[in-house]
Amino acid sequence: MATSVCSALGIDQENSVGKLIAVEEHHSSNGNFVLNCLIAEQVHKEGSVCLVALHNSFGHYHNVGTKLGYNLHQLQEKGCVESIEVLKLLNESLNAEHENRVGNVLFGDEENTMRNLFHLIKGKTEKLLQKRKLVSLVIDDLSNLLSLGISVKEVLSFLQYCRTLLESQPGLSLVVLTHIAEGDDEQQLLNAGLCHVADVIVTVCGLKTGQSSDVSGSMKVTHRRLDQPMIAHEWNKQNLYHFKLLDRQVKIFAPGTAPCLT
């Protein structure tokens, strides 16, 4: 599963360290498989993962990981995986407020919330880099911060802070997924800001012609900057694929070459 997706993304041809991979998930599609494959690739390279879960839970990623041949809970116990489940922290904060207890330090006004979340991430990535040379920071899904009442300006500032970690922490790579609903101006503005600072953009969409039993959707991969190895292999800056999501794998193929058509 992971090999075919990573090959389509071109990260088997170039080094993803110091780069930001943006995954834009359009309405009626699911780009989560891209994150799972990138996590699997990082585990395969004996790297570490810092997962900031704003949409799917850590348990979800663990369950998918067992199908891909790795155990996130065991890796977490070994200190190779760190997770920040933002919605769980929010729930704890609300319960503490209801019971007149001191809540966690993450939530306050929106500016402090973003600052506190960034420092929490920074601390965890620094901890992971002390143990292993390669660390991938995975954020799923950035647009959910808008649903928590955080402004686009503050979310973009938070993203820029995370982007600076790529320069201050050698060995770090950044993967960010954001959802785009048709007609949602804030989500589209956030996505534009994300793509502006990304090195690789992965666009996951449903089929324009409707649903199909043989094709789950399309995946467009855009490299805004190509490394020398990719230039040597005459890699296109933009590549379009179709994919089929199965229980334990993802099939990637060129448009018009679905198994039912060959």
pLDDT in tens, the chain (262 residues): 678 888 888 877 777 899 999 999 998 888 999 999 999 999 998 999 999 999 999 999 999 999 888 999 999 999 999 999 988 887 776 665 555 554 455 665 556 888 889 999 999 999 999 999 999 999 999 999 998 888 999 999 999 999 999 999 999 999 999 999 988 999 999 999 999 999 999 999 988 777 777 888 999 999 887 665 555 455 667 789 999 888 878 888 888 776 654 4
Q: What is the pLDDT of residue 214?
A: 82
Omega before 141 cis (within 30°)? yes
Residue 5 pLDDT: 87
Q: How far apart are CA 251 and CA 111, in angstroms?
A: 42
Distance from C-alpha of 148 to C-alpha of 194, rounded to nearest angstrom: 19
Tokens coding 254:
């060129």
Q: What contacts 164, CB < 8 A, 6 or more positions away?
A: none
pLDDT for position 137: 97
- Residue 127's CB is within 10 A of a number of other CB atoms, namely 14
Residue 68, burial from CB neighbour count under 10 angstroms (0-12, 13-18, 19+): middle
Residue type, position 110, single letter: E
Question: Do 147 and 190 touch, CB atoms closer than 8 A?
Answer: no
